[in-house]
Structure formats: structure tokens, C-alpha cells
Amino acid sequence: MSGKTEPSRKIDSRVKHTRDALSDGLLALVQGKPFESITVQEILDRAGIGRSTFYSHYRDKDDLFLSDLEEFMELMSTQLLRLAEKSNRVAPVREMFRHVAGMRSLHRALMAADKFTDVLELGQGHFARAIDRRLAELPSSCAMPTKRRVAMSQAFAGALFSLMSWWLAQPTPASPEEMDDIFHTMVWSGAGSAAGPACVR
């Protein structure tokens, strides 16, 4: 191992630890008090991080929230692409719903703070791009005209987040597996009829 690689890995590990601690601190606080009343100092106290370290990574608490949300949506939306999943799923719906299942209090807090709009906008953007890439590579839909595929990907991503928001508000929601099936039945009832002949790979 070269002398340059090891220090960079240590730095990356420290940066990740710092960002994770700050993110966990903010998420814990936002479930107990209004977002607008949370101070940077409270986040620092919860995370055990110094003020200068915080400002070397983020401008303010909103920047921390959006940065963490961006990272989560990027990782979640591209999961099927990164794993090269062989199914005809276009989005990791059951994985996403499993992850957020225990976050109903956070969902309510973000709604109250008018921050769920950020979740919807960032999430729909990331998932629309990932769904478009999946549709472009799946044999049953890769012949779909590009403009149609992009438009349908936007619609499917919007439907996914609408479905998730509704699901989180249910007192006895269906299982993540059932929601995955519902979502993909909807996707292929639309995309299947618009795809044309299957591609030959």
C-alpha cells in the first residue's frame, strides 16, 4: 500500500464519522422540537463535534440537512443499478419503505417544518434519473423512445413519493413488499404498453 493512499483513507473515515454524527444529531433533535428552533450548537452538543469542524463541512443546519438528504437519495435510488439486479423492478421500493417504516415521527416533524417538500423534490429528481436508466437497460422497455421514457420516469418517481407519503400516514399500512408490488404493477401497466417490441440484447 502506497504512502499516499493510507492517509487519504483515514481522512475519508474521519470525515464520514463527523458527517454521520452531525446527521444523527440533527435527525434526533428534529423529532423532538421544531426544526426552526434547533440551533447549530445543539447539534454540535448532540454529535460531540466542534464548531470549527462543523463549519468546515456545512454552512448551516439547512446545508447539513440537504447534504445528508442528497446522499441518502443518491444511494437509495441507484441501489438496483449498483447491484445490477436482474428483476424487472425499476426502483427499490420495498427497500426504501423498509428503511422509512420506523420514521413516522420524523415524517411528521418534517411535514410540520415544511421540510418534506425538500424530500419530495430531491427524491423525485434522483429516482426519476435512476428509473430512466433502469427502463433504458431492461429488455422489455429499452426500445421506448427517449422522450417518452424520460417523461414516464418523472411520473413514476412522483407517484412513488406520493405513495410513500400516503403509506406513512396509514395507521396499519401494507407491507413494503406489497407496496413494491403495487408500484411495479402500475409501472408496467404504463411502461409495458408504451415500450414497443422488446430489445434484443
pLDDT digits (tens, 9 = 90+) for 135-163: 999 998 989 999 999 999 999 999 999 99
Q: Indicate if the pLDDT at residue 54 is higher than 50.
A: yes
CATH code of 1-58, in short, is 1.10.10.60
Q: What percent of the chain has pLDDT over 70?
A: 90
Q: What is the pTM of this model?
A: 0.82
Segment among 4-8, 29-33, 131-135, 172-176 with least mean pLDDT: 4-8
Distances (CA, A) of 54 to 44, 60, 105: 8, 8, 26
* Grid cell of 79 as nine digits: 441501489
pLDDT surpassing 80 at residue 87 = yes
pLDDT at 191 over 90: no
Is pLDDT of 60 > 50? Answer: yes
User: What's the pLDDT at 8?
Assistant: 43
Checking if the pLDDT of 200 tops 80, the result is: no
pLDDT given for residue 113 in this prediction: 77
DSSP characters over the chain: --TTHHHHHHHHHHHHHHHHHHHHHHHHHHTTS-GGG--HHHHHHHHT--HHHHHHH-SSHHHHHHHHHHHHHHHHHTHHHHHT--SS-SS-HHHHHHHHTT-HHHHHHHHHTT-HHHHHHHHHHHHHHHHHHHHHHSTTTTTS-HHHHHHHHHHHHHHHHHHHHHHHT-SSPPPHHHHHHHHHHHHHHHHHHHH-SPPP-
